[in-house]
A and B are shown apart, each in its own frame.
Chain A
Amino acid sequence: MLHLGNEPVPVCHGVTRRSFLQAGSAGLAGLTLPALLNRESAGAVDEKRARIRNCITIFLVGSPGHLDTWDMKPEAPAEVRGKFRPIETNVPGIEICEHFPLMARMMDKVALIRSLHHKTGATHENGQRWMMTGHDFNADSIKPHMGAAISRMFGQKSDLPANVILPSPIGNTGAGPLHGQTAAYLGSAHEPFFLNSDPARPDFKIADLEVAQGPSGARFDSRRKLLGQIDSLQKRTESQSGQMHDSAYNGAFRLLTSPKAKAAFDLKAEPDSVRDRYGRNTFGQSCLLARRMIEGGVRYVTVNHFETVFNLTCWDMHADGGGLNNTYLDYERHLCPQFDLAFTALIEDLSQRGLLEETVVAVLSEFGRTPQLNPRGGRDHYPNAWTNFLVGGNIRGGQVIGSTDKTGSRPVNNPIEPPQILASIYHGMGINLDTTMLPGPGERPIRLIEAEPIRQLFTGA
């Protein structure tokens, strides 16, 4: 059982309170409601006042070149500006790549951050760790995924897990297993739940959730009844570990059997027109599923746009003629249109359902790509500058934060590092970063992140 700091630590908001999140009963199957209410009243987390209640992170594995997408330099020499041309958007003065025509029509909702950069290595994994956790780290000091931290902070909102990755966690991207998509020291209760199944396939189903259905459903029911009888006879004295056991099993049974939970995963319930609007591909259907997850009460969804960078069409545009042979042609024909369609479908859909007001969609990547085209006409990894963007909640759209120099080589004003993105999302979700501590390695209370939110992102700032 976790037991955190004993001293009530006064906070900068007038009251004295226990600033460490008390683990206690809450440490386990997520936070209990009373514990959450307690915390809210203490001022560390104000979920009600928060404008952002949910987050969808679209993670562009492989990473698009900023000069070819959202930070174009049409005046730069040909070997820098690349093949694509910018187009105007519905916000005067903001231009993006011609292959995002749908996104251009909703630029008023989007806050572009063009001055991102990080200072560690140029592997995919460095960038993934930065963007998924707000830290770079080694195997001996793994940091938790932002979704796991949100799960630890708020717990489950419904029968669905609080933290979901679609369709699967990032796999091999070349430099080791540390992608920043685990719960690390926050405990396995907060590990992301993932499908390991392709929602674009006609026979899409989630094996772990299928036991309660079909021919095996009847057997599952009778097993469940039997287990209920056995458990109730075994229960002689209530104990904390016994309650935790019950709550774990109750949660699992609800997820397996509640019609609402089941419906959340059922893409067949969507009209064909909607499924088409998102695009009939893994990414498109994952974005659609992400919306259903949010509707069903998931707090944090990560959609990995591609599981790996090898031997498939993806953003990793080295044009190397081998296993990493993505080129402008792939961007033009597949990647940009696939993203444009699914991303705009998601924003429109969330907006129509009134969910965009309380959901932030963050489109993130590992780095940018080299300003100079390589000899084969591709671009390589470039962590010195890139563009990502956020939409939704109280994010003020139609703005550009930061900029890069004439060749997109480095930020020239308001340079932003990945932890500031995470700090902004935490802040938007009502977490006071100054006063909220999570139990870190060795139960040492630590801040969620060592960075300040980007105030300019938010309306009223």
Chain B
Amino acid sequence: MKSKNMTSIPLDSTRFRQPLVRRFAIPQTVRGAIAVLVAAGLVTLTGSLFAGPIQAAENPPAATPVAAVPAGPILIAPATVSLNHVRQPQSLQVLGQTADGFSLDLRSQAQFRSADPKVATVDGQGWVQPVATGQTQISIEVAGQSLAVPVSVTLSDAVPLFSFRHEVMPVVSKAACNSGACHGYSLGKNGFKLSLRGADPAQDFLAITKEQFGRRLNLQFPQESLVLAKPNGTTPHEGGIRFKAGSLSNELLLAWIRQGAPGDLADTRAVASVRLVPDRLVLLPGQKHQLQMIATYTDGSQRDVTRLGIFSANNTQFADVTEEGLVTAGDAGETAIVGRFERTFTAASILVLQPDSAFVSTPVPQDHLIDRPVVEKLNRLKITPSPLAGDEEFLRRVYLDLIGLQPKPEEIRAFLAETATQKRAAVVDSLFARPEFVDHWSLKWGDLLQNSRNVVSQPSVYMFREFLRGAVAENLPLDEFVRRILKSRGGIVDDPASVYFALSKDTNDTVERATQVFCGVRMLCARCHTHPLENWTQADYYGLASFFTQVSTRPDTRYPQAPNTKIVQVTPTAGFAIHPRTGQPQPPHFLGGNEPTIPAGADRREAYANWLTSADNPFFARGMVNRIWSYFFHRGIIEPVDDVRSTNPPINPALLDALTRDFIDNQFDVRHLMRMIVLSDTYQRTSVATESNRRDQQNFSRAIPRRVPAEALLDSLIQATGVNENFGGVPGGFRAAQLPDGTVDNQFLSLFGKPQRMDACECERDRNSNMLQALHFLGTSGSSIGSRVTNPNARPAVLVNQKLNDEQLATELHLWSIARHPRPDEAAVVIEYLKANPDKRLEATQDIMWSLLNSRGFLLVD
């Protein structure tokens, strides 16, 4: 993105600009003659203006050649070229592959030649420019091979006018004039407001051509138009220089103004999709590769928009990209390059690998639907996974992940003593049967569905909580669970699931909550403007809203003592949601899908719920599988889990696909999915890195430690020390995992990030560590650890009373505090501390427990 990286297309070079300026300097005084003159001039003009870098031979090559020879076939993309617009040239990609699978960009080594330059020309970088209607072919000589691409040119007799929608709008977007920080800001900038990211071309056409008496355009002296002089720096511009005089952007705008700034708002052709070619690259660190961006329009036509689209890198550590789409690989790893043209997105996955001839592939477990794609991926990445964790590491992890509690010493001992080969499977099944399993997972659903006394009455919260607990306890299939919620109606006794709707502020809130939790898609942005990172528009948003506009609530008079107890009612005659920009009712349509025919008077939520939970729904099963996966690892396969979009691709698509398929095949059985995950080798790997996977944090090659969540941390602390916590406002004896919502005033839980349930986002739970937490653990006043370990009835006092020897005491303290035996060096440190304080055994024991509970071993899940 920095100009220093601009090597391929010298849009701003002086030698390129000069001739253009001369050509444009045609005297134009008679308005009516402008179009004719320019159109006449453009026939020759476009040859240089749009055919890309005609001086290619003088340019450095676009991509650094790799010291490797292509093996296998060389591909030209596209395989055939069809051109029908004089200003829309097409680039040719010349793609090869090394024997070990690295991508090769061979364009700069290739020799291009047009068989008939009167039909189409080609430059040294493979840009094919139409000249006249006819057929020809481009031959390509590369790496000793001869290839050819047929070219068909169909040009209209008249040179088409410059298009506001298809030539000016892309320039405005590429220069970011319409971004949120600039004129796309809701209040505009300096009196000039554009629709955010070009959502509304009609509005933008007015703003550019008509507002302020048209002073933004100067048809007399086009170069003095503010829309040119500001962004190209001729006139001071608070937003700085957006493009240079002479650049493609500048020349397009200028030519459009010279033609009298024609509008083509009636043209309904729109971009239907965009793709990057190739969509997958495997590169060496430092290697470069050009991407090509192709837009497909609603009428089926295609257009090479490499020079008008916007490229960006998801993670520049692994790959960066220039404005022109030249990728440079960084560190070994994986990321995506996002391409955007107008408001449509796409992504190409970039894999950066070190050449490692000594790498020995890990045998692929062919029959395991998780381990197979994970190991296949690791083999491609040349990463050797860590071995399986020992019994204690596994046991603590699976306890915390499944029931939100550490195992007790007797449970650890029993597990270690067990000799059955299937003992890990057996312990997992036993955890499913534990009451804490219900607490742990209904807490999670309570978070996601935002059950809270801030919004609904206490009876409502408890009834909904019971509904969630029941669903977890009976392992209600997830599709059925969600259907019950989405079709619920009535009061809290009639149908406790109805509290879901009572928790919504309004229809929009329901749309956002339902889409984020059940589809993993964040729609909030599209409420007010086109989503900045995905193809969703306001029409998509309000199309979803129309499924829910029949829902409303009224007070449930059966609970006079509990205001905010509501009855959820469905009004069959209620209309559709109103699209705020058009002011028209927006018929319901499924996310990324079609408009269903729903009989008048039917509950439209049923159509939605049935669409959502059908086996071929692209979001639901996939989103849920991804989300549940993330509860057992440090990340989802897509991360963030509730931000699924084309520009945020899964780290291992095969893994996500396999899990999704399996989840659907098993009737959305959550426990089946969880069992599959926790008994996979992938989950059971140790957190200790190998030399090979030390730097990998993305591909599940080992366990990545996570901070224990607030409730599990507090419940484990209580179990370890034997000292309870009293929560206000709930029945006595509640564990942290059993709390009905986030309104409970507890310093420990709020410091450690218990969500307040203000948002449907998984991110509301803070999993970070910070200084105030550490102070809370270390301090004395109100300290959770300090006062607990010194309590006369706490674990240290109990253990000291048992008259254990030093070794036994060290072991017991470790088992209670961090749920594993000490290693010999760890035991030695503790024993030494005990020996150094012979007359203060209780205090020393308290100190040891204090230290263990402040250590990583307690605060993190390995």
Whether the Cβ atoms of B761 and A443 lie closer than 8 Å is yes
Whether B1 sits at the interface, judged by CB under 8 Å, is yes
Q: Is the CB of A442 within 8 A of B764?
A: yes
Q: Judging by beta carbons under 8 Å apart, are A236 and B181 in contact?
A: no
Complex A-B: 6 CB contacts under 8 Å: A11-B181, A30-B770, A140-B455, A189-B768, A434-B181, A442-B760
C-alpha gap A227/B786 in the complex (Å): 14
Pair A444/B1 contact, Cβ less than 8 Å: no
Q: Is the interface of B mostly helix, strand, loop or mixed?
A: loop
Residue of A nearest to B639 (CB): A3
* Residues of chain A contacted by B30 (CB below 8 angstroms): none
Q: Are A442 and B182 interface neighbours, CB within 8 A? A: no
Q: Tell me whether A248 and B780 are in contact in the complex, defined as CB-CB below 8 angstroms, given that A13-B239, A14-B240, A236-B688 are known contacts.
A: no
Residue from the set A8, A191, A193, A435 with the largest chain B CB neighbour count within 10 Å: A8
Instruction: Provide the bound-state CA to CA distance between A443 and B762, in Å.
Output: 10
Report how far A9 CA is from B175 CA in the complex, Å.
11
Question: Do B778 and A245 touch across chains, with their CB atoms under 8 A apart?
Answer: no
Chain A residues within an 8 Å CB radius of B763: 2, 439, 442-443
Which of chain B's residues has its CB closest to A191's CB? Answer: B772
Task: Indicate if the CB atoms of B176 and A10 lie closer than 8 Å.
Answer: yes
Q: Which of A8, A142, A216, A248 contacts B771 (CB 8 A)?
A: A248
CB distance B854 to A16 under 8 Å?
A: no
CA distance A376 to B272 in the complex (A): 71
| Interface mask (A229-249 → B, CB under 8 Å = 1, otherwise 0) | 111011111011110110111
Q: Does B738 sit within 8 A of A, measured CB to CB? A: no
- Which residues of chain B come closer than 8 Å to A252, judged between CB atoms? 771, 774-775, 778
How far, in angstroms, from A185 to B776 measured CA to CA in the complex?
A: 20
| In the complex, A219 has a CB within 8 A of chain B | yes
Interface 9-mer from B7-15, B126-134, B601-609, B822-830: B822-830
Give bound CA distance, A241 to B314, whole Å: 22
Is B516 a contact partner of A239 (Cβ separation < 8 A)?
no
Which residues of the other chain, B, contact A236 by a CB distance below 8 angstroms?
687-688
Within 8 A of A (CB), among B695-737: 697, 702, 704-707
Flag whether A111 is at the interface (Cβ < 8 A).
no
CB-CB under 8 A from A9, the residues of chain B are: 176, 179-181
In the complex, the answer to whether A6 meets B533 with C-beta atoms within 8 Å is yes
Evaluate whether A188 and B772 lie within 8 angstroms (CB atoms) in the complex, with A8-B312, A242-B705 already known: yes
Contact, CB under 8 Å: A241 / B182 = no
Give the complex CA separation of A5 and B533 in angstroms: 8
B1 touches A249 (CB 8 A): no
Return chain B residues, CB-CB under 8 Å to A29: 769-771
Which residues of chain A from 332 to 352 have any CB-CB distance to chain B below 8 Å in the complex? none
Residue of A nearest to B707 (CB): A241
| A428 within 8 Å of B (CB atoms) | no
For B816-836 the 0/1 string (1 means CB < 8 A from A) is 000000010110011001000
Contact A19 B181 (CB under 8 A): yes
Binds B, one of A102-110, A122-130, A205-213: A205-213
Q: Does B652 contact A (CB under 8 A)?
A: no
Cross-chain contact A443 with B851 (CB below 8 angstroms): no
The answer to the question of B647 belonging to the interface, with a C-beta cut-off of 8 Å to chain A, is yes
* B413 interfacial by beta-carbon distance below 8 Å: no
Q: For residues 149 through 200 of chain B, which have their beta carbon under 8 Å from a beta carbon of chain A?
A: 175-176, 179-182, 185, 189
Known A9-B179, A207-B779: A231·B772 in contact at CB below 8 Å: no
| A207 and B767 in contact, given A10-B179, A230-B826, A442-B759 (Cβ under 8 angstroms) | no
- A251 contacts B by Cβ under 8 Å: yes
Q: Quick one: given A187-B768, A443-B640, are A253 and B689 in contact (CB under 8 Å)? A: no
**In contact, B761 and A442 (Cβ under 8 angstroms):** yes
Q: Is A1 an interface residue (CB 8 A)?
A: yes
Q: How many residues of B contact A (CB 8 A)?
A: 93
In the bound complex, do residue A187 and residue B758 qualify as a contact, i.e. CB atoms below 8 Å apart? no
Distance in angstroms between the alpha carbons of A231 and B850 in the assembled complex: 12
Expressed in whole angstroms, the minimum distance between the Cβ of B400 and any Cβ of chain A is: 13
A207-B780, A237-B688, A442-B759 known; A10+B181 contact, CB < 8 A: yes
**B778 / chain A contacts, CB cutoff of 8 Å:** 211, 249, 252-253, 256
Binds A, one of B247-255, B488-496, B576-584, B747-755: B747-755
Residues 188-212 (chain A) with a chain B CB within 8 angstroms? 188-189, 191, 193, 207-211
A139 at the interface (CB under 8 A from B): yes
Q: How far is the CB of A121 from chain B (nearest CB, A)?
A: 18
Known contacts A188-B750, A237-B688, A435-B181: A442-B522 contact under CB 8 Å: yes
Residues of A within 8 A of B761 (CB): 441-443
Question: Contact check: which of B240, B830, B860 meets A12 at CB < 8 Å?
Answer: B240
| Whole-angstrom CA separation of A379 from B338 in the bound complex | 60
B238 at the interface (CB under 8 A from A): yes
Is A140's CB under 8 angstroms from B452's CB? Answer: yes
Query: With A10-B181, A245-B707 in contact, is A222–B338 under 8 Å at CB?
Result: no
Q: Say yes or no: A208 contacts B780, CB within 8 Å.
A: yes
* Candidates A7, A30, A237; contact of B312 at CB < 8 Å: A7
In Å, the complex CA distance between A234 and B767 comes to: 21
Closest residue of chain A to B837 (Cβ to Cβ) is A222
Asked if A161 CB lies within 8 Å of chain B CBs, one says yes
Nearest CB to that of A251 among chain B residues?
B771
Is B203 in contact with chain A by the CB < 8 A criterion?
Answer: no
The answer to whether B34 has its CB under 8 Å from any CB of chain A is no
Q: Is A28 an interface residue (CB 8 A)?
A: yes
Contact B779–A28 (Cβ < 8 Å): no
B82 at the interface (CB under 8 A from A): no
Check B182 against A231 for contact (C-beta < 8 Å). Answer: no
CB <8 Å contact, A226 and B705: no
CB pair B850–A223 under 8 Å, yes or no, is yes
Q: What chain B residues lie within 8 Å of A14 (beta carbons)?
A: 239-241
Q: Does A35 have its Cβ within 8 Å of any Cβ on chain B?
A: no
Q: Does A311 contact B (CB under 8 A)?
A: no
Q: Which of A239-284 contact B (CB under 8 A)?
A: 239-242, 244-245, 247-249, 251-253, 255-256
Known interface pairs A6-B648, A11-B181, A208-B781. Does A244 touch B524 (Cβ–Cβ under 8 Å)?
no
Q: Kindly state the separation between the CA atoms of A3 and B697 in the bound complex, as whole angstroms.
A: 14
Q: How far is the CA of A230 from the CA of B647 in the complex (A)?
A: 44
Contact with A along B640-669 (1 / 0, CB 8 A): 100100011000000000000000000000
User: Is A41 interfacial (CB 8 A cutoff)?
Assistant: no
Residue of A nearest to B776 (CB): A208
Q: Which residues of A contact B779 (CB under 8 A)?
A: 207-209, 211, 256
A27 contacts the other chain (CB 8 A): yes
CB distance from B288 to the nearest CB of A (A): 19
Residues of B contacting A15 in the complex (Cβ-Cβ under 8 angstroms): 240
